[in-house]
Amino acid sequence: MPKTKPSVFDGQNISASEFFQAHWQRSPFLFRNTSLKLNYLPSIEQLFELASWENVQSRIVFSEDDVHYQAIYDEPEAWDEVTNFKPTLLVSDIEKWHPKAMQIMSWFPFIKNWRFDDLMMSYAPKGASVGAHTDHYDVFLIQVQGTRQWSFDDQPLANKEVVENSELAVLTNYQPQHSVELKPGDILYLPPEIPHHGVSTSDDCVTCSIGLRAPADSELLNSVIELLNESSNEAHRFTDATSHARPDNAIGSHEIKYLRLRLQQVADLSDEALAQLFGQTVTNYRVFEDTDH
């Protein structure tokens, strides 16, 4: 009998199909006491070591008043300077620098490779937070060590207001609908744009987040423009040789027709070309993007 592959749904009161029907990109879901193996993830000491490596993206987020938040980028040695302000260390792209960490993805076989963005890990002493905020992507928040209190809503905010004069975009007077404490092995799934706020409730709090990429329309359209630019002939330009002169200098039907014909080139692209374009866009490497935070 073949061995069953592990899944985050093992031992849960919901199946994969039920999760996708009721929660995926719709509403949060809490996985309690999963059987995920987490001993291959970096320790707190290893996180600080990774943060000190060249080309590794890291941030120290802190607040002097629990209202306005700021970040120190790629300077883990600055930690001691801000310990009085309950800092949080965040290290991105863990899977690139600690390849063993990718083992965690075997528990999420339903995630398409091109949807996976990165593994980000954070360490925070008791009381530390990065403020209430929203993200533009799906995320699975995995409690690795210690405990963290997560507050969140069921749906995106109708009117999102952020704190003025804060370096990082944090929500103003956030009043959450739910609040739960996560222990090691617990996982909180949040769809895009769901407001959430995490506060460490232990001095050894380590969280691993699986961020899922979702390209913005502007990214896809920019990719289309780049593709058309690569295939266009510089000598092929707009001409009004066949149009009648307009004394009022207005842009008329000739100009509009010309532009519409150029845009028609997009609709005429083959499925293969569009698939390649989509793939290039979603796998393009990003640096601290796609988040309000």
Mean pLDDT score, 254-272 = 85
Query: Domains (ranges, CATH) in the chain?
Result: 16-212 (2.60.120.650), 217-282 (no CATH)
pLDDT value of residue 244: 67
pLDDT value of residue 152: 99
Alpha helices in the chain (DSSP H): 16-22, 44-51, 94-97, 217-231, 253-267, 271-282
pLDDT value of residue 3: 62
pLDDT-derived band at 267, boundaries 50, 70, 90: confident
Both tokens of 233, joined, read: 């002939």
Phi, psi of 103 (to 5 degrees): -60, -30
Q: Are 195 and 152 in contact (CB under 8 A)?
A: yes
Both tokens of 274, joined, read: 């569009």
pLDDT value of residue 290: 44
pLDDT value of residue 4: 72
Mean pLDDT score, 103-110 = 94
Cβ atoms within 10 A of the Cβ of 29, count? 18
Q: Is residue 288 scored above 60 in pLDDT?
A: no
Digit-coded pLDDT (tens) for 196-250 = 999 999 999 999 999 998 888 898 888 888 877 877 767 677 777 666 666 677 8
Mean pLDDT score, 169-191 = 98
pLDDT value of residue 238: 77
End-to-end CA distance of the chain: 47
Strand segments, DSSP code E, in 77-177 are: 88-91, 116-124, 139-145, 148-152
Q: Are 88 and 133 in contact (CB under 8 A)?
A: no
Q: Is residue 131 scored above 90 in pLDDT?
A: yes
pLDDT value of residue 286: 62
* DSSP helix/strand/coil, 231: helix
Mean pLDDT score, 24-46 = 97
Phi, psi of 104 (to 5 degrees): -65, -25
Instruction: Report the percent of the chain where pLDDT is more than 90.
Output: 70
pLDDT value of residue 246: 64
| Mean pLDDT estimate for the chain | 91
Q: Are 123 and 131 in contact (CB under 8 A)?
A: no
Select the more confidently predicted residue: 233 or 290. Answer: 233
Q: Which of 189-193, 206-210, 273-277 has the lowest mean pLDDT?
A: 273-277
pLDDT-derived band at 287, boundaries 50, 70, 90: low
pLDDT value of residue 1: 46
